[in-house]
Structure 1
Amino acid sequence: MNAIIAEESVLHGWLSGFKAGLGAMTADAIFFVLAALGVVAFVEEFPTLRAAMVGVGGVLMLYFAYGAAQDVRSSFRPADAGVEGASGGDAAVDADADRTAATGFTKAFVLALTNPYQILFWLTIGVGLLDPGTLDVLAETPYVGARLAGLLVVETGSPALVVGFFGGILVWVTGFPAALVGAERRVNSLAPVVAGASALVLAGFGVLFLSQAAGAFLS
């Protein structure tokens, strides 16, 4: 999610990065409601369905990684960019900004909906936020949870904790794009670097997801 937010921010501006973050946050909100109602518990009960979701998520990540890689070259801007013809192109720029912002939201939202680990998060940690007791947050982290167990244990059972959790997400998806856009205005080469890093992150996880899906179907 952060790779998509970063790419959208440096290539298309703060609004696009913010809307990408809202896309991921919207998926989280949907999963939270469905998990609280017990609707998405069947994902864990049917390994084949989960494997299919992992495969779809992997394909989407590779597709978005390809797009990010293509954006690397186009993200190099000339030194006088934005000076010549700025007044004549304002309408086109605004239209393009609206279009890319919507694209960022859709990319993050669709990718989040096909991420079984995001569903698993809400089936474990997310729902646990409402149950009185304690919750070992980092213990549920995929792959490295056993090594992180006990590092972050919180008291649960208060709706304020859920509100604070989503409030924290909102602060992140607001501040992270703003920081990247501010840095990109000072460093012309930042956009292609971020786009390239985003492509590598998405491609890496895409290959990982596809290998896991293939292993699940072949086992």
Structure 2
Amino acid sequence: MTILATFAAGVVFGLALAAPPGPMNAIIAEESVLRGWVAGFKAGLGAMTADAVFFLLALAGAVAFVRRVPRVQDAMFLVGGVLMLYFAYGAVRDARRQFRAVSVPESRGFSKAFVLSLSNPYQILFWLTVGVGLLTPGRVDVLAYASEMLEGLVVVETGHPALLVGLFGGITCWIVGFPAALTAAESRTERLAPVVAYGSAVVLAGFGAYFLLDVLLR
């Protein structure tokens, strides 16, 4: 029961990391509606690969080093902000092309998402905080805070392999399902493609400007 609860908690954490609106989902959305499900999935796979890199760095202790050196965090945030603005420009450029025409360049979704994820402040902050907690061995009685009668009912073991499998399982569910939903919607109207592309550009530009200003005005 404990292992099952730990796995389920990992899935929830994985979805919580992958699902919120942000620059990664903006890229996945753009790739999905302009180039199809495979391109959207590849973009999501790029983001998940970056999470795997952060996971390995956390195991090696590199994440703890970044936590202790704010300047390193600032540099990563600046790079992330610049990349978001650059990819926002790319989204606008692609939106102006004919939908899925020959003129639409081949997908670079994996590399775009992977590089951007490595400097994405949200993913960095997740692994500096929640991610480190998930990797630290321990036990969390989830429902004990609600009522003494529920103590021991749902116990999650942090640092357990089941938690990590669930985490990446939740991310996988999102990067498979989200592009599929967008592709299904696109099959009903081609007008969705430029709308999503322009919307992705707005999201990327907004986050990019926010992170740049956040660092520069500190």
**Alignment partner of 2:188 out of 170, 186, 189:** 186
Measured in 2, the distance between the counterparts of 1:154 and 1:29 equals 25
Task: State whether structure 2 residue 94 is matched by structure 1 residue 71.
Answer: yes
Contact 2:67 2:128 in 1 (8 A): no
Task: State whether structure 2 residue 84 is matched by structure 1 residue 61.
Answer: yes
**For 1:139-181, what per-residue CA distance to the aligned partner results, in whole angstroms no more than 9, with x for missing partners?**
xxxxxxxxxxxxxx97232321110110111111011111111
Contact 1:75 1:192 in 2 (8 A): no
Q: How many residues align?
A: 182
**For 1:42-77, what per-residue CA distance to the aligned partner results, in whole angstroms no more than 9, with x for missing partners?**
212222221111111101000000111122222557
SS, match of residue 190 in structure 2: coil
**Alignment partner of 1:128 out of 97, 117, 133:** 133
**For 1:119-156, what per-residue CA distance to the aligned partner results, in whole angstroms no more than 9, with x for missing partners?**
231232123223222399xxxxxxxxxxxxxxxx9723
Contact 1:128 1:135 in 2 (8 A): no
Task: State whether structure 2 residue 29 is matched by structure 1 residue 29.
Answer: no
Assess, with a 3 A threshold, how the Cα gap between structure 1 residues 154 and 112 changes in structure 2: closer, same or farther.
Answer: farther
Measured in 2, the distance between the counterparts of 1:51 and 1:39 equals 16
Instruction: Let me know the Cα RMSD of the aligned residues.
Output: 2.3
By how many angstroms is 1:36 displaced? Answer: 2.1
Contact 1:59 1:206 in 2 (8 A): yes
Q: Which runs of 5+ in 2 are unaligned?
A: 1-23, 143-153
Q: 1:111 maps to what in 2? A: 116
Measured in 2, the distance between the counterparts of 1:154 and 1:47 equals 34
**Alignment partner of 1:48 out of 71, 93, 98:** 71
How high is the TM-score relative to the length of structure 1?
0.76
SS, match of residue 71 in structure 1: helix
Contact 1:129 1:135 in 2 (8 A): no
**For 1:167-205, what per-residue CA distance to the aligned partner results, in whole angstroms no more than 9, with x for missing partners?**
111111011111111110111211011111101100100
Q: 1:176 maps to what in 2? A: 178
Q: Which amino acid aligns with 1:121?
A: F
Give % identity.
64
SS, match of residue 217 in structure 2: helix
Q: Which amino acid aligns with 2:110?
A: F
Q: Which runs of 5+ in 1 are unaligned?
A: 82-91, 137-152
Q: 2:212 maps to what in 1? A: 210
Q: Which amino acid aligns with 1:156?
A: E
**For 1:54-111, what per-residue CA distance to the aligned partner results, in whole angstroms no more than 9, with x for missing partners?**
111101000000111122222557xxx8xxxxxxxxxx79xx78x41xx100000000
Q: 1:6 maps to what in 2? A: 29
Q: Structure 1 residue runs of 4+, over 3 Å off?
A: none
